[in-house]
Amino acid sequence: NVIRNIPHQNRHTEWFFKKAVATIQWKQSTEKQEYENIRHFQVPKFYIYVGKDKQFPGFNGKVALVAFNVGEGSFKPSNDFTGKGDPFSFVTGKKKLIGVQPEIDTEEDPEKQKKPYKAVDDVETDGLTRPSSSEENKPVIEENQEDENELVEYGYGFWMRFLTAYPDRLLNGKNAPWYFVSRLTSNMNYKNIDMGDRLLAIWQGQGYYHFTTCDQPKNQANDCGHTFTIHTVQKLKKLCAFIKYADQEPRTILHSVQHPAAKKVKFILGGMDNKQYPGFNGLFSQVTFSARPGVFLDTIEDFSDQLKRTIIPKQDLDQFYNHELVSDIISRKPNDIPDYDEIGGGQEMFPHEYAISGWFKWEQTQQQVWHNVFRVQIKKPSTDRFLGDRTLSCWIGTAQGGILHFPTYTYTNMNGAGNPNMVSNIQHKNRIFDWFFVYFGYSKNQQKAFVGVRFASGLETLEYNNVNHYYAPKFYTFAGKDLHFPGLNGKLAYVNFNLGDGTFRKTPDFKHPDDIFGLQKGEINILKKPDQKKVQPEVDKETGETQIPNAVSDNTPKVTKEFKSEQPLAEYGYGFWMRFLTAYPVKLPNGKNAPWYFISRLANRPNYDNIAMGDRTLAIWQGQGYYHFTTCNLPGQVNVIKNVNYPAGENLCRTRQDGITFIKHSSRHI
């Protein structure tokens, strides 16, 4: 019970963020206590109580956004609790719980009246990511706010991300002169460009963002056009707009204008603006809108402070995802239906890497010019003429004496230009009549694609440079055949589609600890039969796991094997990885305090005793500070002993031949 205390000084009545390693984020400050030389048991399971445990009265107040993390990165020696996905709920808590300040009495303090706090209580903040379709007339958000008195401040802001292929695929790119983004109007039945229709409005133009407002004295209903977007606000006779592209520095637009008096305003985000324009195609997130005093921002510092209360939407898939399209060996004819699947979607996560791979074998048939082997595309219904239709694909063709044909695509601008059939070939030289392995992968960051084909007689590769794919959250995969061409005539097996980091290979190294590409599975099950003489790891009969727990109180052996031979055995041995744990499978309240703990024994008779000749042919015990190896030596030495001191950690004990013993402590030494 190693203890340090932090005086709360009544700050615990306000929201605070607490981490188990003794760091507390109060409302206005941070305090931390460090514990040295603390050693915990290694355990596979934890029991968590929040608000109250079973021994003491509970916390009196409110609890929110409690997170429990396990694994590398959970321990934070510094005060930086940010991270991808906000794993400690730190950023979200600061924003939602302590980010909103108290109301300010502007009459008492002239300085505060000049610069009121900007994040007022009624600002609606929406952290959801919302798709915006260029062909959907209905707005993504439509909301009114009103007051009994004339409104003097109003504004809105959001993160936005333009996408050519999501949620709609713009077949001709962004080629319209204007795409509607947002509008704030004082006219509930607004038209387009009447006074008050464009109090604060944004369009996407060709190469810029177009900001418009109005100025009543000059009767200018469409005052200005600018090339930036993201956040716009207005106060009295001043207008200020800000834009920030990802991690670039923000930019500012300032105007002196006078808006018509209004007690009610309408905010519209996305949609086709009553079918007057195509809509913005992409995603909106972190949407804010308010018409209450305090919303106006007029400096970069104010804008940056407001941005701290938002989180740049995490939409890029950085984790790994494997999907097995074909899990066994299957035979097929050219007109059999394909193995089809839809992968991705959901939270609109956009992978930067993806790859398809698998084993294939062609069988003789009356061959057509093209037979499709597989296809990955980014939209349905399936077509075969547009960018993205041949994202990753393969055909067997008759050209050049027989080829494997590998098309992908690339786009060159946002106006629909590009090559929908960026292709290279490999002459198969009839090697497709034996099983062959194919990998086809892509990297957005490297703008490369790579093909590796492993034939029985050798390996061939193709490399594609300057390949620019659209961001797409969903993929449509066809294995064995697509919907436009005859399919593979023969067999296919272990076809995988992988998304996320680590799936792109720029060299023909397709081995992976989890065999995500299906290479090793094919080598074992297709190219050669498993070596029956090879000793396989023992498996727990109840759990099917190769890791077998063993408790000090277990009397039943975990592994029992018996070998018999008509001739005297000349060699024998055994081996295993082992790991001592104080608290698993059972907790040792007094630690490892017994003089001996039995580990293993190889005896020369089934009904062995303990220390008779042959009872300890090859045997191991755990002692206090060492491993105790024993054997026997004819004619009369029944217990020949060697002890090996051990450090803490994992240990491999292996014995073979004439009592020679090997022990490996982790990766340090043998």
Q: How far apart are CA 663 and CA 670, in angstroms?
A: 6
Quickly list H helices, 329-421: none
Exposure string over 517-552, b if 16+ CB within 10 A, otherwise e: bbbebbbebbeeeeeeeeeeeeeeeeeeeeeeeeee
Q: Which residue has the higher pLDDT, 156 or 296?
A: 156
Highest mean pLDDT among 12-26, 197-211, 581-595: 581-595
In the chain, what is the greatest distance between 2 CA atoms, to the nearest angstrom? 117
Q: Which residue has the higher pLDDT, 243 or 624?
A: 624
Tell me whether domains 116-313 and 317-527 share a fold. Answer: yes
Highest mean pLDDT among 63-72, 297-306, 578-587: 578-587
Q: What is the CATH number of domain 317-527?
A: 2.60.120.560
pLDDT of the residue at 201: 85
List the domain boundaries for the chain: 1-99, 116-313, 317-527, 573-665
In tens, the pLDDT along 468-496 reads: 999 998 999 999 999 999 999 999 999 99
DSSP conformation class of 373: E
Give percent above pLDDT 90 in the chain.
34
pLDDT of the residue at 664: 58
CA angle, 438 then 320 then 244, to 5°: 120
In tens, the pLDDT along 603-640 reads: 988 888 888 998 999 999 999 989 999 999 988 898 99
pLDDT of the residue at 221: 35
Residue 538 confidence class, pLDDT cut points 50, 70, 90? low
Residue 361 confidence class, pLDDT cut points 50, 70, 90? very high
Nearest alpha carbon to residue 332 among 372, 370, 368? 372
**Second-level CATH architecture of 116-313:** Sandwich (2.60)
Q: How far apart are CA 287 and CA 159, in angstroms?
A: 7
Q: Which residue has the higher pLDDT, 185 or 437?
A: 437
560 contact partners, CB below 8 Å, separation of at least 6? none
Q: Which residue has the higher pLDDT, 116 or 415?
A: 415
How many residues in the chain? 670
The backbone torsions φ and ψ at residue 389, rounded to the nearest 5 degrees and listed phi first, read -70, -30
272 contact partners, CB below 8 Å, separation of at least 6? 134, 135, 136, 137, 180, 278, 279
Q: How far apart are CA 403 and CA 413, in angstroms?
A: 31
pLDDT of the residue at 213: 76
pLDDT of 462 strictly over 90: yes
pLDDT of the residue at 379: 93
Nearest alpha carbon to residue 596 among 643, 633, 656, 651? 643
Q: Whole-prediction pTM value? A: 0.56
pLDDT of the residue at 348: 60
The backbone torsions φ and ψ at residue 382, rounded to the nearest 5 degrees and listed phi first, read -70, 130
pLDDT of the residue at 11: 65
pLDDT of 580 strictly over 50: yes
Q: Amino acid identity of 40?
A: H
pLDDT of 435 strictly over 90: yes
pLDDT of the residue at 445: 92
pLDDT of 98 strictly over 80: no
Handedness of CA 362, 366, 370, 375 (dihedral sign): negative
Average pLDDT, the chain: 81
pLDDT of the residue at 233: 46
Q: Which residue has the higher pLDDT, 20 or 484?
A: 484
Q: What is the mean pLDDT of residues 424-436?
A: 96
pLDDT of the residue at 428: 96
Q: How far apart are CA 101 and CA 80, in angstroms?
A: 23
Residue 312 confidence class, pLDDT cut points 50, 70, 90? low
CA angle, 385 then 391 then 395, to 5°: 80
Q: What is the mean pLDDT of residues 306-317?
A: 72
Residue 607 tokens read as 């009904």
Handedness of CA 229, 418, 178, 290 (dihedral sign): negative
pLDDT of 69 strictly over 50: yes
CA angle, 277 then 256 then 142, to 5°: 35
Residue 668 confidence class, pLDDT cut points 50, 70, 90? very low
Residue 391 confidence class, pLDDT cut points 50, 70, 90? very high
Ranges assigned E (strand) in 345-417? 350-351, 353-362, 370-377, 392-397, 403-411
242 contact partners, CB below 8 Å, separation of at least 6? 157, 228, 230, 231, 232, 250, 251, 252, 253, 297, 300, 303
Q: What is the mean pLDDT of residues 345-360?
A: 86
Q: Which residue has the higher pLDDT, 570 or 659?
A: 570
Q: What is the mean pLDDT of residues 58-63?
A: 84
In tens, the pLDDT along 255-292 reads: 777 777 788 888 989 899 889 899 898 888 888 888 77
Q: What is the mean pLDDT of residues 330-349?
A: 87
- Report how many helices (DSSP H) and strands (DSSP E) the chain contains, helices first: 4, 36
In tens, the pLDDT along 99-135 reads: 533 333 333 333 333 332 222 233 344 556 788 888 8
Nearest alpha carbon to residue 347 among 521, 508, 166, 137? 166
Pick the range with the lowest mean pLDDT from 198-212, 216-230, 508-522, 619-633.
216-230
